[in-house]
Amino acid sequence: MTNILVVEDELSIRSFVSLSLRKKGYEVMEAESGEQALELFRNKNFDVVLLDLMLPGIDGFTVCQEIRKVNQKVGIIMITAKTQVKDKIEGLVIGADDYLCKPFSLQELEVRIFSLLRRMNVADEAASQMTDMLISGDFKMDLKNNKFYSFDEVVKLTPTEFSLLHFLMGHPNKLFTRDELLDAVWGENYVGELKVVDVNIRRIRQKIEKDPSSPMYLCTEWGRGYLWKVNE
């Protein structure tokens, strides 16, 4: 059963979302503050965290950063009343997998959770295809254990980063537009901004490229899209 932590200070929203998710078969725990969320996170394993940005005490940005310090695998969806692009990007940059703006429908929330769980299950899907290891030059992707290696050093990737990199590495030297990447990695029913692709590409480059401003592997063809470049 999928375990979800709902972090929201408004009781009416928190209770409504939690009840709806329980009816869908999810196991749900609730937190009304950043401090309570971190305490619960330290004592229980969660698959997904629904994280409101505007919290009393420790805000959602800080909670996200603290979670990512100890766990790269949990899926994080930020829920925000802020609609400015810079706020959305900041959440993605510090480690969120997705964001949802208030007000939102339960149907949209369910689609976002489903899309995130799909990305998180990429290793299981690959394993079912009898593929254990994806190797490209000095990079290795262990699909059984959801680990990525650069020059034999483990690189910590979020579920979305792992899924995006897995897709691109699996199609070397093939160019994909942002729309194509959204459909392939986030799912055709995903409703969100194309910027989410750019931010995740940027985060991956910071982790695997020697010079992220001049990437050798995760490359851009300006105005066209992204590709995983391999010397043939």
Q: What is the pLDDT of residues 26-48, one digit of tens each?
A: 999 999 999 999 999 999 999 99
- Residue 153: predicted pLDDT: 92
Which residues, at least 6 apart from 177, have a Cβ–Cβ distance to it below 8 Å? 224, 225
pLDDT, mean of residues 50-61:
92
Helix crossing, 85-93 with 195-208: angle to 10°? 30
Segment 159-216, tens digit of pLDDT: 899 999 999 999 999 999 999 999 999 887 777 778 889 999 999 999 999 999 999 9
Q: What percent of the chain has pLDDT over 70?
A: 93
Residue scoring higher pLDDT (203 or 88) = 203
**In whole numbers, what is the pLDDT of the chain averaged over residues?**
88
Compute the distance between CA of residue 169 and CA of residue 172 in angstroms, rounded to an integer. Answer: 5
| CATH 3.40.50.2300-classified regions of the chain | 3-104
Listed range (26-35, 137-146, 214-223) with the worst mean pLDDT: 137-146
Q: Which of 4, 58, 44 is nearest to 26 (CA)?
A: 4
CATH value of 3-104 in 3.40.50.970, 3.40.50.2300, 3.20.20.70, 3.30.930.10: 3.40.50.2300
Q: Tell me, what DSSP letter sits at residue 156?
A: -
Compute the distance between CA of residue 197 and CA of residue 215 in angstroms, rounded to an integer. Answer: 16
| CATH 1.10.10.10-classified regions of the chain | 128-228
The answer to whether 128 and 122 have CB atoms below 8 angstroms apart is no
- Residue 217: predicted pLDDT: 95
As its CATH architecture, domain 128-228 has Orthogonal Bundle (1.10)
